[in-house]
Amino acid sequence: MIVSPLRCSLAPVATAAFAALLAGCSPKVVDEVTDTAIGHDSGDTSTAEDTGDVDTGVLTGVHGTVEGTVYLQLYTTDEGGDMVLMDWDETYGGYPFGSVFVAAYSADDDGYQSFYDQHVITSPTVSPAPGGDPYGLDIDVDDLDSVNIFATVDYVGDGIIGTGEPTGAHPNEVTVTSNGTVNEVDITVMVPWAGSGGGGGSGCTDVVDISGTASVSSSWTDGDLAAMLFDTNGAGPYTGVRVSPTATSDGAEAAYDLPVCANYGDYQLLGAWNSDGNGLFDPADTWGSYVIDDSTDGNPISIREESLPDHDILIPFGEYRPAVVPFVSISGTLTSSEDWSAYSEVYVAALKYRPQGDTSVGELKEGYDIMEWSTAELATDTALEYHVEVPANTIIYLWAYADIDGDGILNEVSDPVASLKNSTGRTVTGSTSQSGQDLQLTVP
């Protein structure tokens, strides 16, 4: 049996910002995970053409291949809080973080995520700029009309895809039928600069042990197991240990020992099996939980001054897995100082970068999410309700544009615009959804 630690920090932290990840030994965590329903139908769904003799008027599932490129963009922020792009070679002399996990998924009304295929980029290409690495996902599911595609960086480089990792997603849901192929489903992940400081110690004066047996109760041929602590909101892991199991008559098992700070608090003790064989503990793997018996979940556990032996983990157990695609929504009402009939098209877009000067509709569609209204829709509305989905705990630029002449070029002279909160539209997304973020289109 091989035992290896997955975290070097034992002290609990509570932070909602990505800054919590920027120290060399910081835990991967957001303060809370309260909105993990992912994907927003913006009206611009990427669709492959049917290649077989089927009724194209009725979708019968998602069947085919999704291909694209994942780009990683390093950034920091200036004194005003605006995003400043950085060069990987000039900053680090290359790429210093872990693998990139790419997956196709859907989320139900409760935020539970189902995964349909995954791809791992073990050595991301970041130079010469813009770098980028291709991926391909084969999807075969009957009961969906579309899927979402995202990518997450193993920022700490410990082989776990946690809830606080830098994440990017294709802005539109993707549909492919009749074993066709959708191309150019590209994703950009904004990766924060980790700074020049080193990691810190745990700060523990007293350590207790959580120990027990992690068991796989289904057919097992290969793949390590992990025991990990997540907070009661589902964020984490805060700490964990990887173990190499041995086969049993009905699966596999391994003893584990997880040291943590005394008086750590209340946590969920979870387990995972690297069942997809990609070397990462990720949301597409098989997950389980600490159990009192084979049918009773023992979480949450209370970590105080005494060690906790006999805390056995059963994999699989229940339907829980970390929601590692933490998106939140920003919504509000868009009004105009002019009559809507003067406009050809209206757009609200959540952008990765601060827009400068004239902007094309194509550039808007490279952002996180976009909504658009045509002339016919504008003729019947006096106010427009908008709703965009964006990554949690990052910086976005939220803008609204009206296209007067219908040429697809926005922010021209006399084109009305609006930006959220300030003249740049810069918004820190935080860990919870934001409503009531109203905008009014005016001519600058």
Strand 417-419 to 395-403 pairing: antiparallel
Residue 283: is its pLDDT beyond 80? Answer: yes
Cβ contact 409:357 at 8 Å: no
**Could you tell me what percent of the chain has a pLDDT over 90?**
59
- Distance, CA of 392 to CA of 75 (rounded, Å): 16
- pLDDT band, very low/low/confident/very high, at 394 (cuts 50, 70, 90): confident
Q: Which of 6, 368, 348, 371 is nearest to 167 (CA)?
A: 368
Cβ contact 324:152 at 8 Å: yes
Looking at residues 247-263, what average pLDDT do you find? 96
Cβ contact 56:180 at 8 Å: no
pLDDT single digits (tens) 29-50: 322 222 222 233 333 444 444 4
Selected residue with higher pLDDT from 383 and 28: 383
Cβ contact 32:431 at 8 Å: yes
Residue 147: is its pLDDT beyond 60? Answer: yes
Looking at residues 77-89, what average pLDDT do you find? 89
pLDDT of residue 265: 96
Selected residue with higher pLDDT from 54 and 362: 362
Residue 157: is its pLDDT beyond 50? Answer: yes
Cβ contact 16:432 at 8 Å: no
Cβ contact 171:364 at 8 Å: no
- pLDDT band, very low/low/confident/very high, at 150 (cuts 50, 70, 90): very high
Residue 428: Cβ-neighbour burial (10 angstroms; 0-12, 13-18, 19+): middle
Query: How far is CA 436 from each of CA 34, 199, 371, 433, rounded to the nearest angstrom?
Result: 18, 39, 17, 10
- pLDDT band, very low/low/confident/very high, at 380 (cuts 50, 70, 90): confident
- pLDDT band, very low/low/confident/very high, at 12 (cuts 50, 70, 90): very low
- pLDDT band, very low/low/confident/very high, at 95 (cuts 50, 70, 90): very high
Q: Which residue has the tokens 């004066």?
A: 205
Cβ contact 92:86 at 8 Å: no
pTM of the model: 0.76
Weakest-pLDDT range from 54-58, 289-293, 374-378, 438-442: 54-58
Map 89-129 to HEC letters. Answer: HHHHCCCCCCCEEEEEEEECCCCCEEEEEEEEECCCCCCCC
- pLDDT band, very low/low/confident/very high, at 202 (cuts 50, 70, 90): low
For the chain, the first-to-last Cα distance in angstroms comes to: 67
pLDDT single digits (tens) 410-439: 999 889 999 999 999 999 888 788 999 999
Q: What are phi and psi of 320, to 5 degrees?
A: -85, 135
Q: 386 has which bridge partners?
A: 332
Q: Which residue has the tokens 């690297």?
A: 274
- Distance, CA of 343 to CA of 423 (rounded, Å): 22
Q: What is the DSSP letter of 142?
A: S
Q: Which of 159, 42, 144 is nearest to 100 (CA)?
A: 159
Average pLDDT over the chain, rounded to whole? Answer: 83
- Distance, CA of 82 to CA of 76 (rounded, Å): 8
- Distance, CA of 27 to CA of 13 (rounded, Å): 8
Q: What is the DSSP letter of 323?
A: -
Q: Which residue has the tokens 């700060």?
A: 203
Q: Which of 295, 259, 251, 294 is nearest to 275 (CA)?
A: 251
CA atoms within 13 A on the CB side of 157: 11
pLDDT single digits (tens) 167-199: 888 878 899 999 999 999 999 999 999 875 444
Q: What are phi and psi of 152, to 5 degrees?
A: -135, 140
Q: Which residue has the tokens 């983990």?
A: 313
Helix (H, G, I), strand (E, B) or coil at 36: coil
- pLDDT band, very low/low/confident/very high, at 112 (cuts 50, 70, 90): confident
- Distance, CA of 220 to CA of 252 (rounded, Å): 6
Give the chain's radius of gyration (CA, Å). 23
Among 258-262, 361-365, 406-410, 421-425, the range of highest mean pLDDT:
258-262
With a CB cutoff of 8 Å and minimum separation 6, the contacts of 344 are: 375, 403, 404, 405, 406
Q: Cis link prior to 128 (omega < 30° from 0)?
A: yes
Longest dimension (CA), the chain: 74
Give the distance, in angstroms, between the CA of residue 197 and the centroid of all CA atoms in the same chain: 26
Two structure tokens written together for 124? 């991301």
Selected residue with higher pLDDT from 11 and 437: 437
